[in-house]
Chains A and B, each alone.
Chain A
Amino acid sequence: MPSRVSGRMPRACCICALVITQSGRDGSSRRTLGKVILVAPCPTINGCMCMQIHLTGQITAGVAPNPGPGIGNIHVSTARIVSSYFSDEYSQCLELQLNLHDASDTAIVTRLTDDDNSIRVIAATVRQLADYRFGSNGQPLTSSHANLAAWTITDAVAIWHGYRYGVPDVSFRGQGFRSLDNFQNRTVSLEELLNTIVIGTGAYESASNSVPIFEQYFQQR
């Protein structure tokens, strides 16, 4: 979840309360990092506005558990898991190594705040999910999935949902599917996937809203 400020920034002088919270995209609890009262400009005589600042990423590194910095919002635990996956499953492919699994949280956060590194880890995460989606019996299919003719829209939506909500036994606290077998079941229709397979708060909206985007992308290819 990107850093954001809710509430309007005041202009004339008054007291303002800042409640700084952090919540994780991968399901970690929202927690309050600090509460600050400060004198700040206020726009009108109506006075103070309550601002809530959600912080993730480099600002909270070392303070909040498992931050997800950078443009991909990849969380530290996810980066570590994906790096470990490529180390185990693709040990012969040096170009696929992320070398993050033994790094400290701070080092991973620093890497993820760089756009190039963030995109690299996003790509690796999607590749890992594609490996599992095209695999079976809880095992990944470790091959290239670059041939989009082998993909269906349902595959793309399942992988998107896995990316956003996590897959049990693959992602840290994965909760987007009841089981890894559910995620790997390629026999279900898109309608069934949307209505009965994907889970999590707002899962249907999240997954169904991705359908037209994937349809457009697949048509263009």
Chain B
Amino acid sequence: MRAHRIQSQYSNNTSNRGNMLRRRRLITMGQPLLKSATLALICLLMACAQQRSDEAMVEQARIGLDTALSQMPNLPEFVTVDTIAFQFSRTEHEQTCYYARGYLVLGASLQAAQALDLYVESLRLSGWDLDTRQYETSRLLSRGNNEWMEVRFGEPGVDIEAQIDYEQIQRTYNSVIFVRLDYVLPSVGNC
């Protein structure tokens, strides 16, 4: 009887020790799992925050572009045939730049060179600065830290040629002027 009790006590002790060991093992395994889960959650939250921040910057650039486009000269010699806008970002050397780019396709009643000069002069009067380097068929302008523009005549470039009927526009107007306006964040100088 006593021997049985001792045996029973021994098996209870063994069982308790087993349970304790299992519990300890669970705690030992559970702690890193908990830590890991917390870290994983932090990682996800950081990724989400980064994505939201990128989207906010791109949106901010788009708003800047919209404002700049709304302030473009409205001259009787020009008709806005099309406006094409898009935005994108680019990361190089750990720095991200955010771009909102707008193309204006303008049909003009003047000859190309005259139309270019008139339009650029009007931009200058509305606060745009001419770049020192100029070319036969294009003019480069900037305003403040975030805005950059090219005004030119010639062929449409690859970004817009599929979206406009250039031959039809050529047939309708004496000349066609293309404006490419970039709103850049954090700044033109850093990008």
Asked if B138 contacts A14 (CB within 8 A), the reply is no
Nearest Cβ on chain A to B28's Cβ, whole angstroms: 9
Which chain B residues border A45 with CB–CB below 8 Å? Answer: 31-32
Asked if B89 contacts A178 (CB within 8 A), the reply is no
Tell me if A72 is interfacial: C-beta within 8 Å of chain B.
no
Number of A-B contacts (CB under 8 A): 138
Asked if A17 contacts B40 (CB within 8 A), the reply is yes
Which residues in window 129-185 of B have CB below 8 A to A? Answer: 131, 133, 135-138, 140, 148, 150, 152, 154-159, 180
Number of A residues, CB within 8 Å of B: 48
- Of all chain B residues, the one with the shortest Cβ separation from A138 is B154
Asked if A202 contacts B92 (CB within 8 A), the reply is yes
- Residues of B that sit less than 8 Å from A by CB: 31-33, 35-37, 39-44, 46-47, 51, 54, 58, 86-93, 95-97, 99, 101, 131, 133, 135-138, 140, 148, 150, 152, 154-159, 180, 190-191
Cross-chain pairs A/B with CB under 8 angstroms, 7 sampled: A15-B36, A16-B36, A29-B87, A47-B32, A137-B137, A201-B90, A202-B95
Excluding A47-B32, A138-B155, 12 further A-B contacts by CB distance (< 8 Å) are A23-B91, A37-B40, A45-B32, A50-B46, A52-B47, A173-B159, A180-B157, A181-B138, A200-B97, A201-B96, A201-B97, A201-B190
Nearest 8 pairs of A and B residues by beta carbon: A169-B157, A48-B36, A202-B93, A17-B40, A50-B43, A181-B135, A47-B36, A202-B92
